[in-house]
Amino acid sequence: MTGTLPPSNEQVGVKWLQGIPALDGLVATTVPAALEDWADTGFVTVGGAGGTPHMYLPVQGPVLSLHFWAYAENSARPPWGKAFDLYSHVRHDAYGVLDYAHIGRLLTGFPAQYTNARALTVNILGEPERRPGDPGDFAEYVANFHFDWTPVP
């Protein structure tokens, strides 16, 4: 049984990204504190960046900022390729942005107080930007994505 409240835009973004097989377990709103937990794989974080809900229909239209992180243990060189690969999974893999066979996915598994959601469309709003200069030698790419989704009771 699902709840009565719609999930947040960030929760929907996390659930949608977790549906991409290569990213399963590698997505949240913050990176794990233990670097060794994701040094081999990289990590993706989701945050709100604006957007506009539909005026008359129960359709949300957030812009979510996706951050693609990578870290190389025992190296002072940020692993830019690993961070960019995470972005490529979102764009090109099964259940990603360009997988038109899976548009309109039902998203489930939210905490009990929330309804399910249906991701209607997800679109990339620009090329990913490299964010150099992190003092911890992290590689970070950032790209904004527009999500259209609706709660499903």
Higher pLDDT, 50 or 137: 50
Q: What is the mean pLDDT of residues 69-88?
A: 91
Look up residue 148 and give its DSSP letter.
Answer: E
Q: What is the mean pLDDT of residues 102-129?
A: 96
Higher pLDDT, 153 or 127: 127
Calculate the alpha carbon distances from 7 to 24, 112, 133 in Å: 19, 10, 34
Asked if the structure places residue 134 within a domain, the reply is: yes
What CATH number is given to the structural domain containing 84? 3.30.2000
Token digits of residue 119: 């991701």
Beta strands in 52-115 (DSSP E): 62-71, 106-107
Q: Which residue range forms the structural domain that includes residue 78?
A: 9-152
- Phi and psi of 67, rounded to 5°? -110, 125
Model pTM score: 0.93
**Total domains in the fold of the chain:** 1
Residue 62 has pLDDT above 70, yes or no: yes
The whole-number pLDDT of residue 75 equals 81
The whole-number pLDDT of residue 135 equals 65
